């Protein structure tokens, strides 16, 4: 109760509120990530009270994970990489005039994911951290493979399975451009200095999502009118869809588990949650065309990573992801070395920080619900205004990440390249899956083969690996059978 009293002090509540709102704003701006925000503010907390400083950073983390969904839903521009899965369904809902509902589903799912992961962090952190140590490179490869299995699910009646697979492979090829982490050799750089560090996927995402949409709108002759039915529907407040809670629970559990695994992140959690939701849904026809279930699972998944990623960070000193690594730096700066001492010697600082995550989730829930009706109107802005404004933000977001004009050219190049692929019937979603998850799969595979002394048996030895293979087969079998039935009908 003493720790809860610390969190409820006016100064603590103010720090949490400022951090959370700032995180929402940062997450909503493409190119600005939670990692960047936390990393930049860590040195400034050195002169603050340790508890207040950590609460501020925790609020930024929680708020930014939710904030990325706002532009993903309204503008098809993911604010963070983890919001890519949200954009797949959220933007389609927005174009139908259901942006207000998509935003409501997003914030409630984010709240549930953050809340459940915070409870897990509070109650089971030391126990779960020990279990996470059994998760090695082989299991990391299989986890990425589970995410890549979504490429098969992306292909539907309107998309060729072969083209979806080719797009996914193309994304993985693009992802390996740069320096090989294992051997140090250069791959596909063609003598370019800018490509030595590889292709940053944030400019690629902005180009493949936002700029493609702007190019298509700009190419329409009658893009200046807004459908009256869409306008009327956008004014209504729709109730939450029935049965949506189970998709939120599914995403929350998936996100928390993936977050606990050291080195994994919210992006893979969001894609896995989205893929699991497609398998769970009784009627899959709406997926890809504006399914609120997809938004719920993806958002609960990426926010479930917040508390989950802090489990190995606080108990073992092994960051769950890049944001958790930046937060660990804040703990160390204040003389709090991650490990058992955080929960004993420094308990008066650690537990208030954990409790502050509950308040942070409540803050962005209130903010999200209160501003959703106004934000939903963004989708109704006339294209003559929207196209130049969004294009300018796309350029700024691409430049802001590394202060590099090369990233701007990269974003524009991906936009035109993606537009050509889209016109030819290739799946951009599969391309993005390969681009994001390919490096994770490659790293896990390479390290696993080294540990296994060149034998692939390491990917089948552990009990965790065997369970993961069963899940992978479960994810692949239904869509492959559906594609086979469609081929036989033809």
Are 27 and 34 within 8 A, CB to CB?
yes
The pLDDT-based confidence of 129 (bands split at 50, 70, 90) is low
Whether 304 shows a pLDDT value over 60: the answer reads: yes
- Distance between CA atoms of 131 and 110, rounded to whole angstroms? 26
Mean pLDDT, residues 79-83: 77
Whether 475 shows a pLDDT value over 80: the answer reads: no
Mean pLDDT, residues 209-220: 75
- Distance between CA atoms of 297 and 300, rounded to whole angstroms? 5
Are 400 and 52 within 8 A, CB to CB?
no
Residues 146-168 have pLDDT tens digits of: 878 777 766 654 457 788 888 88
Whether 116 shows a pLDDT value over 90: the answer reads: yes
3-state SS, residue 437: helix
Mean pLDDT, residues 66-82: 81
Contacts of 63 (CB under 8 A, 6+ apart): 19, 20, 21, 22, 23, 24, 25, 26, 27, 360, 363, 364
CA 82 from centroid of its chain's CA atoms: 1
- Distance between CA atoms of 216 and 362, rounded to whole angstroms? 38
Q: Is 425 left (phi over 0), alpha (psi -120 to 50) or beta?
A: left
Which two tokens mark 300?
Answer: 């609960």
Question: Beta strand 186-187 with 178-179: parallel, antiparallel or unpaired?
Answer: antiparallel
Which two tokens mark 337?
Answer: 């070395």
- First-to-last alpha carbon distance for the chain, in angstroms, is 67
- Distance between CA atoms of 233 and 396, rounded to whole angstroms? 32
- Distance between CA atoms of 456 and 454, rounded to whole angstroms? 7
3-state SS, residue 477: helix
**Within 13 Å of residue 325, how many CA atoms lie on the same side as its CB?**
8
The pLDDT-based confidence of 483 (bands split at 50, 70, 90) is confident
Q: Is 454 left (phi over 0), alpha (psi -120 to 50) or beta?
A: left
- The percentage of the chain sitting over the pLDDT mark of 70, rounded to a whole number, equals 90
Residue 402 vs residue 168, higher pLDDT: 168
3-state SS, residue 82: helix
Q: Is 390 left (phi over 0), alpha (psi -120 to 50) or beta?
A: alpha
pLDDT of 199 reads 81
Whether 132 shows a pLDDT value over 70: the answer reads: no
User: Across-strand partners of 179?
Assistant: 186
Residues 19-34 have pLDDT tens digits of: 999 888 888 876 667 7
pLDDT of 221 reads 55
Instruction: Tell me which residue of 260, 266, 268 sits closest to 318, measured CA to CA.
Output: 260
Which two tokens mark 480?
Answer: 């492959």
Mean pLDDT, residues 8-28: 89
pLDDT of 262 reads 67
Task: For 178, list phi and psi in degrees, rounded to 5.
Answer: 120, -150
The pLDDT-based confidence of 224 (bands split at 50, 70, 90) is very low
CA torsion sign for 410, 416, 420, 425 is positive
Look-up of token digits 């660990």: 328
Whether 239 shows a pLDDT value over 70: the answer reads: yes
Length of the chain, in residues:
490
pLDDT of 263 reads 62
Whether 42 shows a pLDDT value over 60: the answer reads: yes
- Distance between CA atoms of 46 and 57, rounded to whole angstroms? 12
Which two tokens mark 409?
Answer: 């050219």
Got the DSSP string for 155-221?
--TTS-HHHHHHHHHHHHHHHT-EE-TTT--EES-TT-GGGTT---HHHHHHIIIIIHHHHHHHT-T
Are 451 and 458 within 8 A, CB to CB?
yes
Mean pLDDT, residues 414-438: 83
Residues 240-280 have pLDDT tens digits of: 888 899 999 999 999 888 888 766 677 788 888 888 888 78
- Looking at every residue in the chain, the average pLDDT score rounds to 81
Whether 112 shows a pLDDT value over 90: the answer reads: yes
Whether 405 shows a pLDDT value over 90: the answer reads: no
Task: Please report which helix (H) or strand (E) contains residue 418, including its range.
Answer: helix 405-423
pLDDT of 233 reads 55
pLDDT of 113 reads 92
Task: Please report which helix (H) or strand (E) contains residue 125, including its range.
Answer: helix 99-132
- Distance between CA atoms of 292 and 285, rounded to whole angstroms? 12
Instruction: Tell me which residue of 104, 22, 29 sits closest to 58, measured CA to CA.
Output: 22
Instruction: Tell me which residue of 187, 206, 205, 203 sits closest to 195, measured CA to CA.
Output: 187
pLDDT of 274 reads 87
Instruction: Tell me which residue of 157, 162, 159, 152 sits closest to 480, measured CA to CA.
Output: 152
Task: For 408, list phi and psi in degrees, rounded to 5.
Answer: -65, -45
Are 321 and 266 within 8 A, CB to CB?
yes
- Distance between CA atoms of 343 and 266, rounded to whole angstroms? 25
Task: For 344, list phi and psi in degrees, rounded to 5.
Answer: -125, -75
Which two tokens mark 279?
Answer: 């398998």
- Exposed, middle or buried: residue 159 (CB in 10 Å: 0-12, 13-18, 19+)? middle
Task: For 105, list phi and psi in degrees, rounded to 5.
Answer: -60, -40
């Amino acid at each position: 109760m003493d720790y809860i009293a610390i969190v409820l002090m006016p100064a603590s509540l103010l720090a949490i509120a400022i951090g959370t709102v700032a995180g929402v704003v940062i997450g909503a701006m493409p190119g600005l990530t939670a990692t960047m925000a936390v990393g930049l503010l860590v040195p400034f907390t050195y002169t603050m009270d340790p508890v207040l400083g950590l609460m501020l950073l925790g609020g930024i983390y929680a708020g930014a994970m939710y904030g990325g969904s706002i532009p993903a839903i309204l503008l098809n521009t993911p604010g963070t990489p983890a919001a890519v899965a949200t954009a797949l369904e959220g933007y389609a809902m927005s174009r139908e005039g259901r942006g207000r509902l998509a935003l409501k589903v997003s914030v409630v799912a984010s709240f549930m994911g953050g809340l459940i992961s915070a409870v897990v962090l509070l109650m089971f952190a030391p126990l779960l951290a020990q279990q996470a140590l059994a998760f090695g490179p082989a299991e990391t490869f299989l986890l990425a493979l589970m995410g890549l299995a979504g490429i098969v699910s992306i292909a539907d009646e309107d998309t060729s399975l072969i083209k979806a697979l080719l797009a996914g492979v193309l994304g993985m090829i693009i992802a390996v451009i740069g320096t090989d982490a294992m051997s140090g050799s250069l791959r596909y750089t063609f003598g370019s200095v800018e490509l030595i560090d590889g292709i940053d996927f944030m400019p690629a995402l902005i180009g493949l999502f936002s700029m493609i949409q702007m190019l298509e709108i700009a190419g329409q002759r009658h893009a200046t009118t807004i459908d009256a039915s869409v306008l009327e529907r956008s004014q209504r407040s729709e109730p939450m869809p029935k049965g949506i809670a189970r998709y939120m629970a599914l995403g929350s559990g998936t996100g928390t588990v993936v977050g606990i695994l050291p080195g994994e992140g919210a992006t893979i959690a969001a894609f896995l949650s989205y893929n699991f939701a497609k398998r769970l849904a009784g009627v899959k026809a709406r997926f890809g065309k504006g399914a609120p279930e997809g938004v719920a699972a993806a958002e609960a998944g990426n926010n479930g990573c917040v508390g989950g990623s802090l489990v190995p960070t606080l108990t073992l000193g092994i960051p769950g992801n890049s944001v958790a690594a930046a937060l660990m730096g804040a703990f160390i700066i204040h003389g709090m070395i991650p490990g058992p001492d955080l929960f004993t010697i420094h308990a008066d600082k650690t537990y208030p920080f954990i409790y502050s995550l509950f308040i942070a989730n409540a803050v962005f829930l209130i903010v999200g619900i209160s501003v959703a009706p106004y934000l939903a109107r963004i989708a109704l802005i006339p294209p003559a205004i929207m196209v130049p404004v969004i294009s300018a933000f796309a350029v700024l977001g691409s430049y802001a990440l590394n202060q590099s004009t090369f990233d701007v050219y990269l974003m524009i190049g991906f936009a035109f390249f993606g537009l050509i692929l889209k016109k030819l019937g290739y799946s951009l979603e599969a391309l993005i899956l390969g681009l994001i998850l390919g490096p994770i799969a490659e790293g896990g595979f390479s390290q696993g083969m080294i540990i296994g002394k060149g034998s692939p048996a390491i990917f089948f030895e552990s009990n965790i690996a065997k369970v993961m293979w069963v899940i992978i087969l479960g994810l692949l079998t239904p869509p492959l059978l559906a594609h086979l039935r469609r081929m036989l009908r033809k």
